[in-house]
C-alpha cells in the first residue's frame, strides 16, 4: 500500500466522515478532520444542553476512526448505556465531556484525547461557538435544530429550500482555517448534505479559507439520496445546492461513483426512499460551465446488503489527484 506525504483535510460530519478517515489513515499520517458542531440530537444534544459544551458525537467517531489504540479501548468509547438516567449516552461522549471539564475547554480536551487514543492526524471542531442550524422548507416552515430537520421534511412531505446558522457571525477555529490554507488537497463530504456538510461551509471564515487555499478541493459525492433530506435530488442538485449556499470556486472537482450494485440491493434502498446518484452527460456539461471537473471511479463496498463507500478506494483515488505525489520512503 502506497504511503503519501500529503496534507489532507476532510470537512463534514456524521458517519460518512468517519468511514473515509478509517481509509485515509492507511495512506497518510497528515490528515485533519474538520467536524461540524451543529449536532443537537441524541447523547450529543443532551450533553450540549446540560453542560453547554460542543456536541461530542461526531468528534468522537472521527477520533476513533483515526485512533491506533487497542480495540478494547475503541469499543469502550462506543459503549452506550441502555438503562437508567444514562440511557442513550455514549461513554465516549461522556469521556470527552469529562476532559472538557478537567481541562477547561474543547481544544485542550482534544489535545489530551489525541494522546490517549494515539490518533493519526488531527480532529478539529469547525468552531468553538454555539451554532444552531435552521432550515426553511418548501412549505414556508422554519425548522430549528439539526436533528429536527429530516423529521419535519418527512412529516410534511416537503423539501429543504435552504439552511442557515445562528448566530450568523460565527468564528471558525483558527486551527481549522490554518489546516485548510496549508492543505495539499481538501475533500468535502461524503455525508448528509444539509446537516453535516453545509453547516461547516456556511461559516464565513471557512468559505474564505476555501476560496484562498491553493489546495485541490474535491467534493466526494454521496452514493445515494437521503430520505428526509435530499429526496428526489439529482447529483447536479447536490452540487448546485452547495454553490447556492456558498459561491462558485468553493469546489473544483467532484469524485463520483460509477459502479452499479445488484438489482435487489438497489431496489431495497429504493423502497426505503433512497435512490442511487448517477452522473449524466447533462451534469458533465453543466459542471464544465462552472469550472468543476469530474472524476469517476468504482467506489462502492456492499456488506450484508448495505451500500457504503469503500474507504480505501476513495482515499487512494483522492490522493492520486495530487499533481506531484510525494511518497514516504
* Interval 138-193: pLDDT, tens: 999 999 999 999 999 999 999 999 999 999 999 999 999 999 999 999 999 999 99
* DSSP label of 73: H
The answer, yes or no, to whether residue 325 has pLDDT greater than 50, is no
Looking at residue 45, its pLDDT comes to 86
CA 80 to chain centre: 22
The structure's pTM equals 0.94
d(CA 300, CA 308): 6
For residue 183, what are the CA distances in angstroms to 11, 60, 63, 235, 310?
A: 12, 23, 20, 26, 23
Share of the chain above pLDDT 90, in %: 80
Higher pLDDT, 293 or 45: 293
Overall average pLDDT of the 65-87 stretch: 86
Which CATH architecture does the domain made up of 1-37+170-329 adopt? 3-Layer(aba) Sandwich (3.40)
Higher pLDDT, 127 or 42: 127
Overall average pLDDT of the 58-73 stretch: 90
For residue 116, what are the CA distances in angstroms to 27, 95, 109, 125?
A: 22, 11, 11, 18
Looking at residue 4, its pLDDT comes to 66
User: What band does 230 get if pLDDT is binned at 50, 70 and 90?
Assistant: very high
Looking at residue 322, its pLDDT comes to 79
Looking at residue 283, its pLDDT comes to 95
The answer, yes or no, to whether residue 1 has pLDDT greater than 70, is no
SS3 252: coil
Residues of the chain with CATH 3.40.50.10680: 1-37+170-329
Overall average pLDDT of the 298-313 stretch: 91
**Sequence-separated (6 or more) residues with CB below 8 Å from residue 175:** 107, 122, 124
Overall average pLDDT of the 262-275 stretch: 93
CA 310 to chain centre: 15
Looking at residue 273, its pLDDT comes to 93
* Interval 85-114: pLDDT, tens: 888 888 999 999 999 999 999 999 999 999
1 CB burial (10 A radius; 0-12, 13-18, 19+) = exposed
Amino acid at each position: 500500500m502506497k504511503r503519501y506525504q500529503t496534507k489532507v483535510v476532510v470537512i463534514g460530519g456524521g458517519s460518512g466522515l468517519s468511514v473515509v478517515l478509517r481509509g485515509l489513515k492507511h495512506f497518510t499520517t497528515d490528515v485533519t478532520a474538520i467536524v461540524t458542531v451543529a449536532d443537537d440530537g441524541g447523547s450529543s444534544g443532551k450533553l450540549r444542553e446540560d453542560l453547554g459544551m460542543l456536541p461530542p458525537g461526531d468528534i468522537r467517531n472521527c477520533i476513533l476512526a483515526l485512533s491506533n489504540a487497542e480495540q478494547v479501548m475503541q469499543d469502550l468509547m462506543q459503549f452506550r448505556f441502555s438503562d437508567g438516567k444514562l440511557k442513550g449516552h455514549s461513554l465516549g461522549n461522556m469521556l470527552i465531556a469529562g476532559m472538557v471539564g478537567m481541562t477547561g475547554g474543547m481544544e485542550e480536551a482534544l489535545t489530551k484525547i489525541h494522546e490517549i487514543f494515539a490518533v493519526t492526524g488531527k480532529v478539529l471542531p469547525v468552531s468553538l461557538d454555539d451554532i444552531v442550524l435552521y432550515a426553511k422548507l418548501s412549505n414556508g416552515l422554519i425548522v430549528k435544530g439539526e436533528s429536527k430537520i429530516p423529521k419535519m421534511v418527512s412529516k410534511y412531505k416537503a423539501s429543504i429550500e435552504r439552511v442557515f446558522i445562528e448566530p450568523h457571525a460565527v468564528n471558525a477555529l483558527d486551527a481549522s482555517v490554518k489546516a485548510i490554507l496549508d492543505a495539499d488537497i481538501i475533500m468535502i463530504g461524503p455525508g448528509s448534505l444539509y446537516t453535516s456538510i453545509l453547516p461547516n461551509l456556511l461559516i464565513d471564515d471557512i468559505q474564505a479559507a476555501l476560496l484562498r487555499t491553493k489546495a485541490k478541493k474535491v467534493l466526494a459525492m454521496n452514493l445515494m439520496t437521503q430520505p428526509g433530506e435530499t429526496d428526489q435530488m439529482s447529483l447536479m442538485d447536490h452540487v448546485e445546492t452547495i454553490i447556492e449556499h456558498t459561491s462558485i470556486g468553493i469546489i473544483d472537482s467532484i469524485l463520483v461513483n460509477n459502479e452499479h450494485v445488484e438489482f435487489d440491493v438497489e431496489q431495497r434502498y429504493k423502497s426505503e426512499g433512497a435512490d442511487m446518484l448517477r452522473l449524466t452527460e447533462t451534469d458533465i456539461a453543466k459542471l464544465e460551465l462552472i469550472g468543476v471537473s469530474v472524476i469517476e471511479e468504482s467506489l462502492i463496498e456492499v456488506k450484508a446488503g448495505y451500500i457504503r463507500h469503500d474507504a480505501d478506494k476513495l482515499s487512494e483515488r483522492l490522493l492520486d489527484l495530487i499533481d506531484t505525489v510525494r511518497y514516504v520512503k
